[in-house]
Structure 1
Amino acid sequence: MSESVTWLLLAYRIPSEPSRLRATVWRRLKALGAIYVQNSVAALPEDSAAERALRALRAEIGQLGGTAQLLRADALVGGADLVSSYNAARDEEYTEIASRCRDFLAEIDKETAEQHFTYSELEENDEDLTKLRSWFDKVTARDRLGASGRDTTAKALEDCTAALNVFADAVYAADTDGA
């Protein structure tokens, strides 16, 4: 991705106490996928959804007793650094999902080794995979600058789906054998 990304910058001040106010703003920015350029200055690649979300957060900051300015900016220099930071944040999220996929596969292997082929176990694993897919969908929605971890994580989710399908077949076979 080139350095020609236009950024939205949210510069804000909020009271230092109670600390939950700062945590609230930080969580909202993290959920949006924003990166911090400096303390209390967060950046997102410009698009209409990001602008709406940051305008809403700016209003919320005002309601919390703080102040905020929302700016549109083009990097004169250092744009590649911003893109790199933004992609690194997405790659950290992808890495965490891939790690959870390894945990998921280990759980399937454990249940298979113990021949614990029950519908309740299948349902639990299906719910876990649904959560992983949902998380992946949220990260890919934020991944507007092409982070490198997307394809590897998508493959890990495919592996989880395949493993769950094999496990489901074993559950169905156990049900048929027991009938």
Structure 2
Amino acid sequence: MLQLLHYYSYCCYRCNFMGSKENEEMLRSWLVLIHHFPQEPGSLRVKIWRRLQSIGAVAIKNSMYVLPLNEECREDFEWILRELTSSNAEGAILESRFVDGLNDQQIIAIFDEARNQDYSKISEEMAEFKKSLPSELLDDGAQLKDAKNRLARFRKRLIEIEKIDFFGADKREPVKKLYRELTNYVNKVSEKPEAGTEIMQAFNIEDYQSKIWVTRTNVHVDRIASAWLIRRWIDADATFKFTSDKKYSPKAQEIRFDMYEAEFTHEGDKCTFEVLIERLKLHDSALQRIGEIVHDIDLKEDKYGHEETTGIAYLLSGIAAGIDDDELRIKRGEAMFDDLYQFSQKQAE
């Protein structure tokens, strides 16, 4: 313990007590984990090293790891410290600023380099995977299943890397673009066109104003999203009506959506939200992205693989679980989709 305390004191001096007060006020604060292992066992070193890698910590000196100062990172370090002390190792967590030796930009560069290495590795693997794919249609058996499983694994790894990419490394966006291209390519070579498939007929949006929009009761994913789309983008004065009659016949001024023989419902592999966008010519990249998210949730697919899809699915499930009234579900969903649209606009830039 004495050796660790001497090292701790040295690091505190270098991190916190050198430089002018004015400079210190402009510096970023960091979390620093210092640890010291007993000579044995070596397995503990490997275990802790892997844990540090998994949370995105970087080494700036032997046995000295750094993370940005926030509550999640603090909790990560605290769990590792608990592992250390419960295994007869020693450790301490510092909240520090670097004013001499290393500076903030150099530390950020270390983080970015670590994440760029992660991105490079997965980028190379995706490029090799694409080379292995045929230029023509994938069969419906093991080959197609393997391709989609590989895509799912790539997506999972990308999410894991992005979670610890604290400062937006340079290779982040290029590898995300490559993933989207690869996903689109797999979808392209795995989809059989239906006989007689034609481009959807476009409708005139002016014909759908001040209408009563009818859908099934117990609204969930596609119906909540479509109701938001209708009210925000198609018919600002829309009112909604809910029915349990699967073969409901519309009355005057009523338009059915996402139900049996509705004016707007699933067509081919497209969900109702996507059909509304296409038929009413809502050419907006953010809406397109939201449509892809709704598609994957509603059809239980991973066709587009946007990283926020799982979170949106949980939020929609929470709305459905906590609210029985369909109109209130739609109103709660509208607030969520308003925020998602703002986010999707930035992602589409």
TM-score (structure 2 length as normaliser): 0.46
Q: Contact 2:34–2:91 (CA<8 Å) still a contact in 1? A: yes
* Selected match of 1:158 from 158, 173, 180: 180
2:154 maps to a residue whose letter is L
Q: Residues 36-75 of structure 1 correspond to what in structure 2 (within 5 A)?
A: 36-75=59-98
Aligned position for 2:171: 149
Whether 1:123 aligns to 2:145 is yes
- Label 1:32 to 1:74 Cα distance change in 2 as closer, same or farther (>3 A): same
Identity percentage of aligned residues = 22
Partner of 1:106: 131
Are 1:138 and 2:121 counterparts? no
Counterpart residue identity of residue 124, structure 2: S
Pairwise CA distance, 1:160: 1.1
Kept in 2: contact 1:122–1:167 (CA 8 A): no
Larger radius of gyration: 2
Give the letter for the 2:72 counterpart: A
1: CA distance, partners of 2:129 / 2:193: 17
| Alignment correspondent of 1:87 | 112
Paired residue for 1:6? 29
CA contact (8 A) 1:37 1:43 kept: yes
Q: Can you give the 5+ residue segments of structure 2 that lack an aligned partner in the other structure?
A: 1-25, 196-349
Matched, 1:18 2:41: yes
CA-CA distance at 1:114 after TM superposition = 8.6
Paired residue type of 1:140: E
- Whether the 8 Å contact between 1:94 and 1:150 is mirrored in structure 2 is yes
* Alignment-mate amino acid for residue 156 of structure 2: S
Question: What stretches of structure 1 of length at least 5 have no aligned partner?
Answer: 174-179
CA distance in 1, matches of 2:187, 2:141: 13
SS at match of 1:36: strand
Q: 1:134 to 1:74 in 2, by over 3 A?
A: same
Residue type of the partner of 1:167? Answer: V
Q: CA deviation at 1:167?
A: 2.3
Task: State the partner residue of 1:177.
Answer: none
Distance, in Å, in 1 between the alignment partners of 2:181 and 2:136 is 21
RMSD across aligned C-alpha pairs, in angstroms?
Answer: 2.0
1:84-118 Cα deviation digits (max 9, x unpaired):
0011111111111111110220121xxx2697623
Aligned residues: 168
Q: 1:87 to 1:122 in 2, by over 3 A?
A: same
Larger fraction in helix: 1
Q: Distance in 2 between matches of 1:5 and 1:74?
A: 6
Deviation at 1:143, TM superposition (A): 1.1
3-state secondary structure, aligned to 1:58 = helix
Q: CA deviation at 1:64?
A: 1.4
Which structure would you say has the larger RCO, counting Cα contacts within 8 Å and 6 or more residues apart?
1
Offset of residue 130 of structure 1? 0.7
Q: Determine helix, strand or coil for the equivalent of 1:131.
A: helix
